[in-house]
């Protein structure tokens, strides 16, 4: 069975922004970079749910080191296509970050508000290092430099779905990242 693309059968979906094969190729490269950078100090990957679950799964398999996982769920969107500006922790970490090499794994960085909040919150927990790996960075929306060490793709400031990204819990299972045009 071919991966779900959906763009050709759902009028709410526009053109493909990042095709599945390019996603996998870039994730492989990111895994190699992280493997080289963290040799001798296996990282703890902190996935931001729900959007980053597919990316984190593929990224972890591309890292040739022992890695551990933990997850946070935060929200600044609800079911809307624009951020509310208020970040809430819905599920916190289970593991202690003290003296750990932590990589926050984000699906997408829009304004950078959620990421800035996560960074401040996690930095107070005493990690040995704290970096960010984001699959997608929307260009031109951040008020300041988000300082992301690992970026998969820079994309236009459009609302996108697929590969874990959703609108109202729909479209996460698309193999590609696709522009959402609404219904």
Catalytically active residues are: 110
Collapse the DSSP code of 32 into the 3-class scheme (helix H, G, I; strand E, B; otherwise coil) and give the result: helix
Measured distance CA(109)–CA(175) in Å, rounded: 19
Collapse the DSSP code of 174 into the 3-class scheme (helix H, G, I; strand E, B; otherwise coil) and give the result: coil
Bridge partners of residue 136, in order along the sequence: 108, 153
Query: DSSP characters for 33-66?
Result: HHHHHTTTSPPEEEEEETTTHHHHHHHHHH--S-
> Is residue 103 within 8 Å of 46, Cβ to Cβ?
yes
């Amino acid at each position: 069975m071919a991966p779900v693309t959906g763009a050709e059968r759902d009028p709410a979906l526009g053109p493909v922004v990042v095709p599945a094969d390019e996603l996998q190729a870039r994730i492989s490269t990111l895994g190699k970079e992280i493997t080289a950078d963290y040799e001798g100090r296996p990282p703890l990957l902190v996935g931001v749910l729900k959007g980053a679950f597919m990316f984190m799964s593929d990224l972890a398999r591309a890292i040739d080191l022992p890695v551990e996982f933990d997850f946070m769920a935060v929200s600044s969107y609800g079911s809307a296509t624009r951020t509310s500006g208020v970040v809430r922790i819905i599920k916190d970490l289970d593991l202690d970050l003290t003296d750990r090499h932590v990589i926050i794994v984000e699906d997408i960085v829009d304004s950078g508000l959620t990421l800035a909040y996560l960074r401040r919150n996690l930095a107070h927990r005493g990690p040995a290092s704290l970096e960010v790996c984001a699959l997608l960075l929307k260009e031109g929306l951040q008020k300041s430099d988000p300082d992301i060490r690992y970026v998969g793709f820079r994309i236009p400031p459009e609302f996108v779905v697929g590969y874990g990204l959703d609108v109202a819990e729909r479209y996460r299972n698309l193999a590609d990242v696709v522009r959402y045009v609404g219904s």
